[in-house]
C-alpha cells in the first residue's frame, strides 16, 4: 500500500511539474506596456518561490522511497527509477524558471535604467533650452554678452555618455521585442528635441561669438579714439597755455 501511495505521489509531482512548465515556460509573452512587463516579473518571482517550495516535498518523497527500498527492495527499485526521473525533471524546471526569472528581472532593470537616463537628459535639455532663451534680448553690453556666451558654452559641454546609454539600452529592448512601440516613441521624441535644441544652441553660440568679437573691435576702436582725443586735448591745452596763435599750429590742430 505504501508503494502505491508513493507511486501516486510521484505521478502527482510529475503532473504538477508539467502544468508549471506549461504555465510559466511555454506561454508566449508579449510585453507591450510597462505594466505587462512588471506583472510578468512578479508572476515569475512567485513561480520561482512556488517551485522552490516543492523542494521539501521532493525531499520527503526521496527519503520515503529510500526507506521503502531498504525494507522492500523489489518495490523500492521501481520507485527509485521513477524518482530519478522526477528529480531530474524537477531540477531542470527549477533551473529554467530561475533563468527566466533572472532574465525578466534584468529586462525590467534595463527599462528602469533607460527611464532614469531619459530623465537626466531631459533635465539637461530643459537647462539648455533655458540658457538659449536667456541669450535673447540681451543688453548691448560686452559683459552681458560674454556672460551669456560662457553660460551657454558650459551647458553645451555636457558629455555624451548618457545619450550613448539611452541608445544602447533602447536598442537592446527593441531588439528583444520588449516595449518596442513605447520605447521607439520615447526615443524619437527625445532625439527630435535634442537635435532641434542642439542646433539652435550652436547657432546662438556662433552668433554670440560674432557679436562679442564685433563689440570687442568696436570697444578697441573707441579706446584708441579716446586716447587720440586725450592726446589732442593735451596738445591744445598746451598751445592755449603757451598762447600760441592758431595759424602757427599744425593743420590737424587748427
The Cα 79–Cα 73 span in angstroms is 10
Predicted local confidence at residue 77, as pLDDT: 72
Rg (CA), the chain: 40
Question: 3: which residues sit within 8 A by CB, 6+ positions away?
Answer: 68, 72, 75, 76, 79
> Domain residue spans in the chain?
1-211
Lookup: cell for 163: 545619450
The Cα 209–Cα 200 span in angstroms is 14
Predicted local confidence at residue 224, as pLDDT: 94
The Cα 101–Cα 40 span in angstroms is 9
Lookup: cell for 32: 507591450
For the chain (254 residues), the mean pLDDT of every run of 10, in chain order, is 80 91 78 90 92 88 80 71 87 92 94 97 96 90 92 92 95 89 95 96 95 92 94 84 65 56
Q: Are 178 and 169 in contact (CB under 8 A)?
A: no
The Cα 173–Cα 204 span in angstroms is 36
Q: Are 163 and 118 in contact (CB under 8 A)?
A: no
Residue 15 phi/psi, 5-degree rounding, is -65, -40
Length of the chain: 254
The Cα 100–Cα 86 span in angstroms is 21
Q: DSSP secondary-structure letter at 160?
A: S
Q: Please give the model's pTM, rounded to 2 decimal places.
A: 0.78
Describe the chain by its helix, strand, coil percentages, rounded to 5.
85, 0, 15
Considering the domain 1-211 in this protein, what is its CATH number? Answer: 1.20.58.60
Amino acid at each position: 500500500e505504501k508503494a502505491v501511495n508513493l507511486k501516486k505521489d510521484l505521478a502527482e509531482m510529475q503532473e504538477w511539474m508539467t502544468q508549471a512548465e506549461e504555465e510559466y515556460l511555454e506561454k508566449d509573452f508579449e510585453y507591450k506596456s510597462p505594466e505587462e512587463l512588471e506583472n510578468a516579473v512578479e508572476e515569475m518571482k512567485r513561480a520561482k518561490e512556488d517551485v522552490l517550495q516543492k523542494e521539501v516535498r521532493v525531499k520527503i518523497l526521496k527519503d520515503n522511497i529510500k526507506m521503502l527500498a531498504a525494507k522492500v527492495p523489489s518495490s523500492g527499485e521501481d520507485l527509485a527509477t521513477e524518482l530519478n526521473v522526477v528529480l531530474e525533471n524537477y531540477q531542470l524546471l527549477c533551473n529554467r524558471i530561475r533563468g527566466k526569472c533572472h532574465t525578466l528581472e534584468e529586462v525590467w532593470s534595463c527599462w528602469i535604467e533607460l527611464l532614469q537616463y531619459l530623465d537626466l537628459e531631459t533635465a539637461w535639455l530643459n537647462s539648455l533650452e533655458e540658457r538659449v532663451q536667456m541669450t535673447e534680448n540681451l543688453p548691448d553690453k560686452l559683459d552681458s554678452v560674454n556672460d551669456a556666451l560662457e553660460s551657454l558654452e558650459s551647458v553645451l559641454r555636457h558629455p555624451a555618455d548618457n545619450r550613448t546609454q539611452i541608445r544602447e539600452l533602447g536598442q537592446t529592448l527593441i531588439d528583444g521585442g520588449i516595449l518596442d512601440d513605447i520605447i521607439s516613441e520615447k526615443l524619437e521624441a527625445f532625439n527630435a528635441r535634442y537635435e532641434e535644441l542642439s542646433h539652435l544652441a550652436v547657432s546662438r553660440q556662433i552668433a554670440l561669438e560674432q557679436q562679442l568679437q564685433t563689440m570687442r573691435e568696436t570697444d578697441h576702436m573707441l579706446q584708441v579714439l579716446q586716447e587720440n582725443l586725450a592726446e589732442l586735448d593735451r596738445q591744445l591745452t598746451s598751445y592755449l597755455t603757451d598762447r600760441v596763435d592758431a595759424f602757427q599750429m599744425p593743420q590737424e590742430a587748427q
